[in-house]
Amino acid sequence: MNLRKRIFSGVQPSGNLHIGNYLGAIANWVKLQDEFESIFCVVDMHAITVPQDPEMLRKKTIEIAKIYLAAGIDPKKSSIFIQSQVSEHAELMWILNTIAKMPELEKMTQFKDKTQKGGSESAAVGLFDYPVLMAADILLYGTEVVPVGEDQKQHVELARDLAKRFNQKFGETFIVPKAFIKEEGMRVMGLDNPEKKMSKSAASEYNYISLLDDEETVKRKIKKAVTDSGSEIIYSDEKPALKNLINIYSSFSNLSPKEIEKKYTGKGYGDFKTELAEVIIGFLKPFQEKFNALSDEEVLKILADGATKVRPIAKAKLDEVKNKVGFII
């Protein structure tokens, strides 16, 4: 019997996956897969809560899976699958919809952020309901730990609340999951605006470094990254842009922020930025080599195998839930 605790996490196949997604989430998964029974999902059903081009969505779904694999997720240790290939997610979501409350979804900051631009009148119901689908993803598998970046904390809280509410109403059914948010990399900020997180859906490409950016692009983007007033390399809350760049430098090197400060004493932003770009490229190069060596066919096979592996877990939990709420199964 497998007594290891289970982790579950996912990424949406929309936009360009960036170093924030890597540092905030995927890098941690790679470490955790040795300790936990790990399930990693490409959440295409979440992606369609905003308009997607169907062909592009298929392409991005495979791309995300390749990114998981190139980053070091090992399909022998972890299950990787596509959310829409396990229909239990949608079914459990419907049942959880009946215990989730409107005000708890209304207060979700990500929904508020995403509808700020277009207004909530144009938002799809699915965008509003998105955190309930995420709760279904997590609860279906008896997940104990959810490794995510800080921006997903509120969503994991909702999953916890729904698990407790369901258990109270229908008897012990769901494990109450915990978010796992690592201090370093938990919130990588935009290169063009250190007040806002680095985002796949940012309007400007100068907001992020994509995991698939080439050398020249990385250099150009780092050169253009905003910095604070002054010329010294200081790690401080008063210099949020520089602090963000030092955090990125630190995450991709073995140096702590203090060591980086020391290394650049007496040097200016120019030297710092040139070497920061090199540190990032030093990570991206071997990563992209692995990415490029993966064929669509082998990745689709890994995803299909992953779905076959996790489906029985999802079905068993869904049957238990259906039985508890009074469905005839």
User: Which residues are tagged catalytic?
Assistant: 114, 197, 200
Nearest to 282 by CA among 324, 247, 254: 254
CB closer to ligand TYM, 10 vs 75: 10
Minimum distance of ligand TYM from residue 243's CB (angstroms): 14
Q: Which residues bind ligand TYM (CB under 6 A)?
A: 8-12, 20-21, 23-25, 43, 46, 134, 137-138, 146, 148-149, 151-152, 155, 185-188, 197-198
Residues across the chain: 329
Minimum distance of ligand TYM from residue 299's CB (angstroms): 18
CB closer to ligand TYM, 20 vs 264: 20
CB closer to ligand TYM, 140 vs 264: 140
Instruction: Work out whether the CA dihedral 143, 78, 284, 212 comes out positive or negative.
Output: negative
**Tokens found for residue 242:** 């520089």
Point out the residue whose Cβ comes nearest to ligand TYM.
24
Minimum distance of ligand TYM from residue 151's CB (angstroms): 5
Minimum distance of ligand TYM from residue 39's CB (angstroms): 9
**Tokens found for residue 140:** 């279906």
**Tokens found for residue 29:** 């998964």
CA distance 299 to 65: 7
CB closer to ligand TYM, 16 vs 232: 16
- Eight-state DSSP code of residue 237: T
CB closer to ligand TYM, 139 vs 321: 139
**Tokens found for residue 72:** 């070091």
Residue given tokens 């090992």 in the structure block: 74
Three-class secondary structure of residue 267 per DSSP: coil
Q: How far apart are the first and last CA of the chain?
A: 27
Minimum distance of ligand TYM from residue 266's CB (angstroms): 31
Q: What is the identity of the amino acid at 31? A: K
Three-class secondary structure of residue 311 per DSSP: helix
Beta-carbon contacts of residue 160 (< 8 Å; ≥ 6 apart)? 176, 177, 178
